[in-house]
Amino acid sequence: MTKMKKFLSAAVVAAMTISSLAGCGTSSKGDDTTLTIGGIGPVSGPAASYGTSVKNGCQVAVDEINKAGGVKVGDKTMQLKLDFQDDANDAETAKNAFNKLMDNGMDALVGCVTSAPCIAVTSLSEKAKILQITPSGSQKECAQFDNCFRVCFTDPQQGTAMAEYIVNKLGLKKVAVLYANSSNYSQGIKDAFVAKVKELGGSIVTEEAFTEGDVDYNTQLSKVKDAAADAIFVPAYYTEVSYIVKQAAEKGIKIPFFGSDGWDGILDQVSNKEVLEGATFLSPFLYTQDDAKVQSFVKAYQAANKNATPDQFAADGYDTVYTIKAAFEKAGSKDIAKLEEAMTQIKVEGITGTMTFSKDGDATKSTKLIQIKNGEYTAIVAE
Amino acid sequence: MSSFVEQFLNGLIPGSIYALIALGYTMVYGIAKMINFAHGDIIMVGAYILLIGLNASGVPTWLAIVLAIAGCGILGVVIEKVAYKPLRNAPSLAVLITAIGMSYFLQNLFLVIFSSKGKSVPRFIHVKDFKIGDITVSGNMIVTLIVTIIIMILLTVFINKTKLGSALRAVSEDKGAASLMGINSDLMISMTFAIGSALAGVAGILWVSMYDKAYPTLGAIPGIKAFVAAVIGGIGSVPGAMIGGIALGLVESFTKAYISGELVDAFVFGLLIIVLIFKPTGILGRKRIEKV
């Protein structure tokens, strides 16, 4: 009897091993009529709004492309299929999602939406030889391998772009910086910004740190006031920014504020919009921008999503799908080497700007800025 | 010099709000011998009541403020009756855990009702900014300072000069003896919770007038800071709470201004440790001899 049991259990183990191996073996790359685009991002948890926006933005692009006839890869025309998985902003969950997508026959990956899961997935996608394009992972390592690219600016790119705008374009030489030392995002932008300002002949008159979650910035602002700066740069997210701009106004600080893309949505965060008047921040997308492409995207997005207003994540997702389309059409094949080469040759006219990609994965595109005028976002384009 | 004065004010204002909150901790401890960890969350409740009042049409600002303060006072009494009174003779650890539970309950209740997104409170204090030379003192700061000073004076007079105040002190000294003298100690405890929580309500109102936003975890940080302030000043001592709160605000501001923005909490808790080493009962705390 015991022998029988042993045999049975051994058989079960063997069967399980074989079936799990079979799972690996069948990661076939779809068929010739559909191109499967996998997506990974948080659609649950505290960061859910980012993932949901990207997912919805991708879906708009996929529907548009399919309606227009699909993607021409070599001599075949394929329809796109979006398979979006939740990672709840967690690296381990993202890896599992990636494996699941591979089993589902993914041809290219949009993702991940947030930096930490994205970095975790890059090593898997490199081994699997899958083209991975993150719409919004701004940390340097999100595009660390040859098969990985990004649509958004990196953190240092943002700092450099803002420094050029403030010092060169506006001629403001004495700049104060207020940044969150507890955030990679804030720190990354700040470091590049400070270096660039100095390179351009400006000076950083004071550099004040704070911790994310602080509510009282009076002390730092008093020091900024003493430093007699021409401009103040705050690379941070809107929660902290809303406190900073209000307290600065109360202190009688009248110099112009500048910010990073974390400011997107700031107007909803303050009760008195006057404190933001004249502030300028970098953002790839403004839904009210007077541009035919942007407006047609906004219309399609709102029709598909109960009138929700698309944000920069939705726009990044949309542009990522179009970038994938362009890469496959240029490469004319699903071969990763050809796709990698194609990525550096394509030029994508997206709604976040016209993009080209370098071999190290970063996008080059024009800097788009948003200025707050009369309590409204207005787009300004800097060269 | 002007920057020093400005940094002094930058510390004095949050410091005086900490002091208001610390008063609640210290009064409740003085009379009920327990740390009411839900105290910080009452600040948050006050902020939300104010927000609702200000956003409702037809409610004048003064009424919204009164409702917020009264609402907090009533909430304090209800919490005491529901959560703490049944445990009056239970071990102090049970009461402590209940208080922490109460704190989580309030935070999560408001999280469910209002979501985690911060809500801006419309501007409701319209006092002109005050300028001397380079120094700008905002209207909010002036109001905060005046309100705190008035409350501290009133509270000191109430505790030391009125009959109810004497009864309060008597219960705090010796509950059993006070009961024998005809003082209703349950009533006194309820009153303490009402006063302490109403002060937390005032602190909540001043907090959102300074920092603009109401969110469910708003009370957590000021609550902890005020608790530290109460311990530094000597828990159970009313003037101690005032001194502790203001000292804490000033240490925070001067550390940020002249040492490092990153070391603020290190200095705050460092101050706590130093005070406790040299004066374990806090600056104004009295040593109690436990009779066995």
ipTM reported for the complex, 2 dp: 0.79
The shortest C-alpha distance from B166 to chain A (Å) reads 38
* Structural contact between residues A370 and A378, judged by C-beta atoms closer than 8 angstroms: yes
- Contact state of B212 with A250 under an 8 Å Cβ cutoff: no
Confidence band for B277, pLDDT divided at 50, 70 and 90: very high
* β-bridge partners, A27: none
Q: Does A144 touch chain B (CB under 8 A)?
A: no
Domain that holds residue B150: 16-115+125-219
Separation between Cα atoms, residue A324 and residue A268, nearest integer Å = 34
B36-62 mean pLDDT = 93
- Contact state of B256 with A219 under an 8 Å Cβ cutoff: yes
Span A156-283: which CATH code?
3.40.50.2300
- Contact state of B212 with A252 under an 8 Å Cβ cutoff: no
Domain residue extents for chain A: 34-153+291-365, 156-283
| Chain A CB contacts of B211 below 8 Å | 215-216, 243
| Chain A CB contacts of B123 below 8 Å | 271-272
Please give the C-alpha separations between residue A51 and each of A117, A207, A287, in angstroms, as whole numbers.
12, 33, 18
- Contact state of B13 with A239 under an 8 Å Cβ cutoff: no
Q: Does B118 touch chain A (CB under 8 A)?
A: yes
Is the residue at B29 inside a domain? yes
B187-193 mean pLDDT = 94
- Contact state of A250 with B211 under an 8 Å Cβ cutoff: no
Is the residue at B277 inside a domain? no
- Contact state of A46 with B116 under an 8 Å Cβ cutoff: yes
Confidence band for B180, pLDDT divided at 50, 70 and 90: very high
Q: Does B217 touch chain A (CB under 8 A)?
A: no
Closest-approach residue (CA) in chain A for B119: A269
Task: Give residue A374's region: left, alpha or beta (phi > 0; psi -120 to 50).
Answer: left
- What local confidence, expressed as pLDDT, does residue A27 receive? 40
* β-bridge partners, A355: A348
* Structural contact between residues A334 and A244, judged by C-beta atoms closer than 8 angstroms: no
DSSP letter string over A86-147? E-TT-HHHHHHHHHHHHHTT-SEEEE-SSHHHHHHHHHHHHHHT-EEEESS--SGGGG-STT
Q: Does A179 touch chain B (CB under 8 A)?
A: no
| Chain B CB contacts of A211 below 8 Å | 261-262
Contacts of B180-187 spanning 24+ positions with Cβ under 8 A:
B186/B85
Q: Does B132 touch chain A (CB under 8 A)?
A: no
**What is the number of alpha carbons within 13 Å of residue B290 lying toward its C-beta?**
1
B84-107 mean pLDDT = 92
- Contact state of A222 with B136 under an 8 Å Cβ cutoff: no
* Structural contact between residues A94 and A87, judged by C-beta atoms closer than 8 angstroms: yes
What is the largest distance, in Å, between two alpha-carbon atoms of chain B?
A: 61
Closest-approach residue (CA) in chain B for A249: B138
* Structural contact between residues B227 and B55, judged by C-beta atoms closer than 8 angstroms: no
Three-class SS state of A349: strand
| Chain B CB contacts of A242 below 8 Å | 120, 212-213
- Quick one: DSSP state of residue A276? G
Separation between Cα atoms, residue A226 and residue B7, nearest integer Å = 11
Burial class (CB in 10 A: 0-12, 13-18, 19+), B287: exposed
> How many structural domains is chain B composed of?
1
DSSP letter string over B62-82? HHHHHHHHHHHHHHHHHHIII
Q: Does A77 touch chain B (CB under 8 A)?
A: no
Separation between Cα atoms, residue B241 and residue A339, nearest integer Å = 68
Is the residue at B35 inside a domain? yes
Closest-approach residue (CA) in chain B for A239: B118
Strands (E), B93-142: 119-120, 130-132, 135-137
Confidence band for B1, pLDDT divided at 50, 70 and 90: low
Separation between Cα atoms, residue A222 and residue A227, nearest integer Å = 9
The shortest C-alpha distance from B4 to chain A (Å) reads 9
- What local confidence, expressed as pLDDT, does residue A11 receive? 64
Q: Amino acid identity of B20?
A: L
* β-bridge partners, A102: none
SS (H, E, C) A190-251: HHHHHHHHHHCCCEEEEEEEECCCCCCCHHHHHHHHHCCCCEEEECCCHHHHHHHHHHHHHC
pLDDT in tens, B138-173: 888 899 999 999 999 999 999 999 999 999 999 988
- What local confidence, expressed as pLDDT, does residue A26 receive? 41
- Contact state of A252 with B257 under an 8 Å Cβ cutoff: no
A positions 15-74 inside 8 Å of B (CB): 46
B positions 34-73 inside 8 Å of A (CB): none
Separation between Cα atoms, residue A139 and residue A119, nearest integer Å = 8
Is the residue at B261 inside a domain? no
Closest-approach residue (CA) in chain B for A181: B262
- Contact state of A272 with B123 under an 8 Å Cβ cutoff: yes
Measure CB to CB from residue A269 to each of B120, B211, B221 and give the nearest one. B120
* β-bridge partners, A354: A349
The shortest C-alpha distance from A256 to chain B (Å) reads 18
Those residues with Cβ within 8 angstroms of residue A20's Cβ, 6 or more apart along the chain or in another chain:
none
pTM: 0.79
pLDDT in tens, B195-250: 999 999 999 999 998 888 899 999 999 999 999 999 999 988 889 999 999 999 99
Those residues with Cβ within 8 angstroms of residue B180's Cβ, 6 or more apart along the chain or in another chain:
none
| Chain B CB contacts of A246 below 8 Å | 212
Q: Amino acid identity of B110?
A: F
- What local confidence, expressed as pLDDT, does residue B4 receive? 87
Is residue B175's pLDDT more than 90?
Answer: no
Closest-approach residue (CA) in chain A for B8: A219
Span A34-153+291-365: which CATH code?
3.40.50.2300
Strands (E), chain B: 119-120, 130-132, 135-137, 213-214
Q: What is the mean pLDDT of each run of 10 residues along chain A (383 residues)?
A: 63 59 46 88 85 94 94 90 93 95 94 91 94 91 92 91 93 94 89 95 92 88 90 91 91 92 83 88 88 92 91 93 94 92 93 91 88 88 56
Please give the C-alpha separations between residue B222 and each of B21, B49, B106, B285, in angstroms, as whole numbers.
8, 18, 16, 22
- Only one residue has tokens 């009210």, namely A288
Best residue in B135, B138, B208, B265 for a mutation probing chain A (most A CBs within 10 Å): B138
Rounded to 5 degrees, φ, ψ at A381 are: -110, 125
- Contact state of B13 with A218 under an 8 Å Cβ cutoff: yes
